[in-house]
Amino acid sequence: MFHKTKTALAAFAATTAMTSAAFAGDLVINFDDLNPAPKAAFEAAVEAFKAENPDINVTVNINDREAHKTAIRNFLTADAPDVTSWYPGNRMAPFTDAGLFQGVDDVWDDNGLRDTFAAIEPTMTRDGVTYGVPYSYYQWGIYYRKDLFDKLGLEEPQTWDELLAACAPMKENGVTPFTIGTKFLWTAAGVFDYINLRTNGYEVHNALTAGEIKYTDPRIVNTFKNWETLINDCGFVDNHASMSWQDALAPFANGDAGMYVMGNFAVSGMKDAGLTEEQIDYFQFPQIDASIPRAEEAPADAFFIPTNAKNPEDAKKFLAFIARADIQGPWNDAIGQLPPNSEATIGESKFLKEGMETLSTAAGLAQFYDRDAPAAMAKAGMEGFQKFMLDTSTMMEVLEELDRVQAEVYK
Amino acid sequence: MATTDANAPTKASWIQKNKLSIAPWFFLIPALCFFAVYVVIPIFESLYLSLFEWNGLYRADGTSTAEFVGFENYQKLWTDPKFWVSLKNNVLWLFLFMLAVPVGLFIALFLNQTVPGMRFYKSMFFFPFVISQVVVGLIFGWFYNPDFGVVGSIYKALYCEEVTNLLGNLTTRCDGSPPDILSSAEYATYGIIAAGLWPQIAYCMILYLTGLNNVAVDQIEAARLDGAKGWKMLWYVVVPQLKPATFIAVVVTVIGALRSFDMIAIMTQGGPFGSTNVLSYYMFETAISEYGERYGYGSAIATVLFAIMLVFISYFLYRMYQDEKGGR
């Protein structure tokens, strides 16, 4: 029966013409971003690779991000490309556990990536094997309305108390401190991750997403208590459960909300909403406990080699090529993100500079709750966060339910 | 030559002898094939899959990663609060969706008169059934939106005032916050059912309108001579004659309620925190959505939904069979 389904899937993959047959010297690459800037930057990198390796015949398939998430489950077995884009952390775990990605420790060792990619290496490694090479990542943090802060005479808060103190004048003047849109859930996970990283640190984040500590653990309860304080003393916009993250930009752009816990990709959304670079700025999520080393969220995008790749030799050449500082620098400059290679040059934008400063000095880099935790746990967890944000009195109920899911997901 | 054979004694072949009994099967073959491939076999595949734990992946050598777990998926369902929430919502849908039948009947009675332009009014009432469910979901989603929807606008007109904020932009300041129906665990399901009722009422209405065309005029007149009018006329004379239409209306409404999926997918994606899930959407979410990939567990949910539907479908088929026997 499973075989029958498999042949059907294979036929499906073949008809959608994701990949073409390859022989020696042919390199097939599947990429997953059709947006103009990322697509152009990827294509520029491929052109540079072709120029250096004229004997390799490169074929590129670019698909939409969501379609890619579905297609990869079929093409890895049915008709594997030589290189495919995917995400590190727990998102790669189903594929590495099923043996669908091959380890590339030799690429890492031969090209000195263990040094230049030291910060991100743990999330690329599973059970002692390193998979794939990341080509881009970006920082998270608090984006705020600088003009609003100036008007109220506020400084960028460095500590939790300063943050809570900054909220009072905002509320007095009719400004909601935080905007957020939790309709699609993941935005709430960003807030949770940061409060948890600041309250308990990187190890607890990893232990929690690995299922090693319970949600009713006193440390996690403390995280939720801090979150409750943030909701009560600062507060998020009303109706956040019916807004997407883009919808939530509206009160921010109008000056009705002052801060937004977000990833750097939100900057272009803010500019599209009519804000100038002078009106917005970035600060690191404030420190809660001075004894906890500062860790950050930095979701990465990477390239992997499927086990069924027909031309793994050239695929490794490609991975080594895109790991180079002189490739990652211009690539990420073009898409407004940060190069994981610590030797690469970064773009001119003040957000990128601050982001680089933030990430290069971080004690640890988390991928994001829904990439570090298994899918079923992430879904339940994020629903729990939303429930808690709508009604903080459900805290223990939410945590107990998450314990139940956790016991089921991690066996 | 061809004519010589005509005089020879012909031996009828097996096919020729059984022509009459073979012909129907011959014509049924294409439909049966498609029905088997797309309906019957998947049902059994899904039943079988519900005994496995499987994330939908194959290993590099093509073997499946599925692991046999017996009835564990069903045991998990029993303790899964989200499953019970979904089941409860399915029951809510089933009961509230039944409102479509009487409401449809009354609209049909109301429209069943000869007024100039009646066809236009009828088609306007039928309109929600013609447009896609996705569009209905979007329209109601906007209708309920607390910021720019009808609900939000009315609230703002009553309880909010327009002020200039700190940065000199116009904004509204309200007493309390406008009702956010689709984000409230209590009301969201009712909001979606109301949206689903809109096209369903139109459907029931059209069924009754055609039924009303066949109501025997002589019986109505006879009843009128006997002094029947108003409710009694409706209940004892008209409604019994509409029985076939009522039967179909109930059947399509029950099935429509049980397979409600598109409205939920468009309006809330099962949220907030899973409180508007129904079995069909929960199954989709567990099996094939981005955070799902649990095919065995999803199949177990599908099996439960199938069992519930089977009860209704068997009853309907039984009724139809009885009616046909009685009709002969």
For the record, the structure tokens of B175 come out as 């007493």
B10: pLDDT confidence band, cut at 50, 70 and 90? low
Question: What is the pLDDT at residue B327?
Answer: 60
Q: Are strands A133-137 and A300-304 parallel, antiparallel or unpaired?
A: antiparallel
| Residue A345 contacts B, CB cutoff 8 Å | no
| CA-based nearest residue to A164, from A65, A241, A233 | A233
Closest-approach residue (CA) in chain B for A309: B60
pLDDT tens figures, A311-337: 999 999 999 999 999 999 999 988 888
Report yes or no: A151 at the B interface, CB cutoff 8 Å: yes
- Measured in angstroms, the CA of A329 and the nearest CA of chain B are apart by 31
Contacts of A214 (CB under 8 A, 6+ apart): A220, A403, A406
CA distances from B264 to A298, B70, B80, B141, B188 (A): 33, 31, 20, 10, 10
Tokens of A381: 């967890």
Q: Which A-chain residues 279-338 have CB contacts (< 8 A) with chain B? A: 306-308
Give the closest residue to A300 by CA, choosing from A411, A150, A137.
A137
The partner residue sitting opposite B57, judged by closest CB among A100, A241, A386, is A100
For A222-243, how does the pLDDT look when each residue is reduced to its tens digit (9 = 90+)?
999 999 999 999 999 988 988 8
Of residues B5 and B25, more confidence is placed in B25
| For range A208-216, the mean pLDDT | 93
DSSP class of residue A26?
Answer: E
Residue A13 confidence class, pLDDT cut points 50, 70, 90: very low
Residues 6+ apart with CB under 8 A from B242: B105, B208, B211, B212, B215
Cβ-defined contact of B269 to A6 (cutoff 8 Å):
no
pLDDT in tens, A276-288: 989 999 999 999 9
What integer pLDDT is reported at residue B65 of this predicted model?
86
H or E segment to which residue B73 belongs: helix B72-79
Strands B160-164 and B52-53: unpaired
**Contact between residue A232 and residue A178 where contact means Cβ atoms under 8 Å apart:** no
Cα of B97 to nearest chain A Cα, Å: 25
Is the confidence at residue A7, as pLDDT, over 50? no
Closest residue to B180, CB basis, from A100, A239, A306? A239
Q: Which two tokens stand for residue A72?
A: 């990869």
| DSSP calls for A291-343 | TSPPEEE--EEEEE-BTT-S-HHHHHHHHHHHHSHHHHHHHHHHHT-B-SSTT
Q: Does B64 contact A370 at a Cβ distance shorter than 8 Å?
A: no
pLDDT for B271 equals 76
Structure tokens at B179: 């009702």
SS3 A10: helix
B282 to chain A, closest Cα gap in Å: 12
Burial of A33-45, coded b for 16+ CB within 10 Å and e otherwise, reads beeeebeebbeeb
Question: A389-403, pLDDT tens digit by residue?
Answer: 999 999 999 999 999
For residue A1, what pLDDT is reported? 45
Neighbours of A150 (CB within 10 A): 12
Domains in chain A with CATH codes = 2-136+300-362 (3.40.190.10), 140-297+374-409 (3.40.190.10)
Residue entry with tokens 């088929």? B317
Q: Measured between alpha carbons, how far is A245 from A298 in angstroms, rounded to an integer?
A: 18
- From chain A, the residues in CB contact with B162 under 8 A are none
Per-residue pLDDT at B7 = 52
Name which of A66, A256, A383 is nearest B273 (Cβ-Cβ): A383
Model confidence pLDDT, tens digit, residues B135-190: 999 999 999 988 888 988 888 888 888 888 888 888 888 877 788 888 888 899 99
A404, B79: Cβ pair inside 8 Å? yes
Average pLDDT of the segment spanning B125-132: 89
Contact call for A242 and B182, based on CB within 8 A: yes
Q: How many whole angstroms from its chain centre is CA B78?
A: 25
φ, ψ of residue A85 in degrees (nearest 5)? -85, 145
Distance CA B220, CA B234 (A): 10
- B235-245 average pLDDT score: 89
Given a cut of 50, is residue A11 above it in pLDDT?
no
Burial environment of residue A262 by CB neighbours within 10 A (0 to 12, 13 to 18, 19 or more): buried
Residue contact B293–A77, C-beta within 8 A: no
Question: Who contacts B51 (Cβ-Cβ below 8 Å, separation ≥6)?
Answer: B68, B69, B70, B71, B73, B296
Cβ pair B264, B275 in contact under 8 A: no
Distance from CA of B63 to the nearest CA of A (A): 8
Chain B residues touching residue A401 (CB < 8 angstroms): 81
Question: Is 90 exceeded by the pLDDT of residue A142?
Answer: yes
Stretch 161-190 of chain A: residues touching chain B, C-beta under 8 Å = 173-175, 183-185
Per-residue pLDDT, A122? 85
pLDDT of residue A282: 94
Do A359 and A338 form a contact (C-beta atoms < 8 A)?
yes
How far out from the chain centre does Cα A74 lie? 24
Strand order across the beta sheet in which A176-179 lies: A176-179, A257-263, A140-145, A280-283
Is the pLDDT at A257 greater than 80? The verdict is: yes
Residues of B in contact with A375 (CB under 8 A): 290-293
Residues of B in contact with A152 (CB under 8 A): 166
Rounded to whole angstroms, how far apart are CA atoms A313 and A332? 26
Whether the pLDDT of residue A187 is over 90: the answer is yes
Quick one: what percent of chain B has pLDDT higher than 70?
96
Contacts of B164 in chain A (CB under 8 A): none
Give which of B183, B264, B286 to mutate to test A binding, by max A Cβ within 10 Å.
B183
Name the residue with tokens 């309250």.
A199
A contacts of B147 (beta carbons < 8 Å): 239, 250
Of A157, A366, A351, which Cα lies nearest the Cα of A270? A351
**Beta-carbon-side half-sphere exposure of residue A113 (alpha carbons within 13 Å):** 28
pLDDT band, residue A35 (cuts 50/70/90): confident
How far away is chain A from the Cα of B193, in angstroms, using its nearest Cα?
18
Tokens representing residue B136 in the block: 């209905």
Give residue B174's pLDDT. 80
Nearest to A379 among B55, B65, B291 (CB): B291
pLDDT at site A376? 86
CB contact under 8 A, B180 and A238: yes
Residue of B nearest to A66 (CA): B290
pLDDT for residue B113: 83
Rounded to a whole number of angstroms, the CA Rg of chain A reads 22
CA distance A282 to chain B (A): 19
Report the alpha-carbon distance of residue A336 to residue B4 in Å, rounded: 89
pLDDT at residue B233, rounded to an integer: 86
For residue A87, give the amino acid letter. Answer: Y
Indicate which of B43, B54, B58, B173 best probes the interface with A, i.e. most A CBs within 10 Å of its own CB.
B58
Taking an 8 Å cut-off on Cβ atoms, the answer to whether A173 and B166 are in contact is yes
Q: Label the pairing between strands A125-126 and A295-297.
A: unpaired
Q: Do A255 and B294 touch (CB under 8 A)?
A: no
Predicted pLDDT at A28: 94
Identify the residue whose tokens are 């039924």: B211
CA–CA–CA angle B223, B226, B227 (5° rounding):
95
Q: Could you tell me which residues of chain B have a Cβ less than 8 Å from any Cβ in chain A? A: 45, 48-49, 55-60, 62, 64-66, 76, 79, 81, 145-147, 163, 165-169, 171, 173, 177-178, 180, 182-183, 185, 269, 271-274, 285-286, 290-294
Residues of A in contact with B79 (CB under 8 A): 404
The verdict on ipTM greater than 0.85 is no
Cβ distance of A100 and B274 shorter than 8 Å? no
Residue A134 has pLDDT above 90, yes or no: yes
Of A52-61, A333-342, B223-232, which has the strongest mean pLDDT?
A52-61
Exposure string (b/e) for A172-187, b if CB count within 10 Å is 16 or more?
A: eeebbbbbbbbbebbb
Scanning A209-248 for CB atoms below 8 A from B yields 238-242
Residue B9 confidence (pLDDT): 55
Residue B35 scores a pLDDT above 90: yes
The reply to whether A256 touches chain B by the CB within 8 Å rule is yes
Q: Long-range contacts made by residues B50-55, C-beta under 8 angstroms, separation at least 24?
A: B50/B74, B50/B296, B50/B297, B50/B299, B50/B300, B50/B302, B50/B303, B51/B296, B52/B295, B52/B296, B53/B294, B53/B296, B53/B297, B54/B294, B54/B295, B54/B296, B55/A94, B55/A98, B55/B293, B55/B294, B55/B295
Residue whose structure tokens are 């998947």: B42
Q: Is the peptide bond before B272 cis (omega within 30 degrees of 0)?
A: yes
CB contact under 8 A, B290 and A408: no
- pLDDT of A41 reads 92
Question: Is the per-residue pLDDT at B42 higher than 90?
Answer: yes
Are B97 and B193 in contact by the 8 Å Cβ rule? The answer is yes
Q: Which chain A residue has the Cα nearest residue B188? A: A242
The closest CB to that of A6, out of B62, B147, B271, belongs to B62
> Cα(A118)–Cα(A304) distance, rounded to whole angstroms?
18
Tell me: pLDDT of A17 over 50.
no
- pLDDT value at residue B64: 86
Plot region of A105 (φ>0 → left; ψ -120 to 50 → alpha; else → beta): alpha
Rg (CA), chain B: 28
Q: Is A178 helix (H, G, I), strand (E, B) or coil?
A: strand
